[in-house]
């Protein structure tokens, strides 16, 4: 089973995260959506009842450039507790993961909402394995990761402005992307690669 940490303000009115769930449905992935802090706390307290293969931290409207997250942030609790479980961060989840491990987040001069191309930098990447050196993606964000944390490697960058688009740490079992892999058919393989990798860990 996979845990989906929902960072939308209202999942029923959100756009990207429902697309993410739709992709997981098509991949026949069993998952549980956690939208509130108490949902995460309940999972942690009753962890032995579940076989958690992996976790996905969704995007959302929050901006770390406007201030640090609450100490009781549900996504931070997940990063802190599930140290031996693969976790994928998407958009805000990507920024939050970078922040948690010591990276630097800054505000963009202008919000980015467009289809773009990212250049894959690592052939040994978990998320990009068996794919070409470029992929078309959908981006929608106001912040960006200016400095990546220790123990992470950059696995892709934006073709046009060079901003970091994905980082990975096999040591920490942490993987994340700035773009929305659920947003375009071209990039859905990123989610499948994460699911396959997570399920392959014994």
Which residues have a catalytic role annotated? Answer: 91, 180, 182
CB 187 within 8 A of CB 144: no
- List the one residue out of 187, 7, 193, 189 whose CA is nearest residue 97: 7
How far apart (Å, rounded) are the C-alpha atoms in residues 121 and 134? 9
How many CB atoms are located within 10 Å of the residue 132 CB? 7
- List the one residue out of 114, 127, 200 whose CA is nearest residue 161: 114
How far apart (Å, rounded) are the C-alpha atoms in residues 131 and 127? 9
Q: Which residues contact 96 (CB under 8 A, 6 or more apart)?
A: 57, 64, 69, 73, 75, 76, 79, 89
């Amino acid at each position: 089973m996979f845990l989906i940490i929902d960072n939308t303000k209202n999942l029923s009115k959100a756009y990207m995260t429902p697309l993410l769930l739709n992709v997981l449905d098509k991949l026949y992935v069993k998952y549980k959506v956690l939208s509130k802090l108490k949902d995460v706390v309940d999972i942690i307290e009753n962890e032995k009842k579940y076989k958690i293969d992996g976790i996905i931290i969704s995007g959302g409207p929050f901006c770390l450039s406007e201030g640090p997250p609450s100490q009781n942030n549900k996504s931070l609790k997940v990063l802190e507790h599930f140290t031996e479980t693969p976790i994928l961060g998407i958009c805000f989840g990507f920024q939050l993961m970078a922040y948690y491990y010591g990276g630097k987040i800054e505000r963009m001069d202008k919000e980015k909402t467009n289809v773009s191309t990212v250049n894959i930098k690592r052939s040994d990447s978990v998320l990009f394995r068996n794919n070409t050196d470029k992929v078309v993606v959908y981006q929608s964000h106001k912040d960006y990761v200016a400095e990546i944390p220790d123990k992470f490697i950059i696995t892709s960058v934006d073709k046009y402005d060079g901003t970091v688009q994905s980082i990975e740490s096999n040591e920490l079992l942490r993987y994340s992307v700035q773009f929305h892999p659920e947003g375009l058919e071209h990039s859905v393989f990123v989610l499948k690669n994460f699911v396959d990798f997570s399920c392959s860990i014994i």
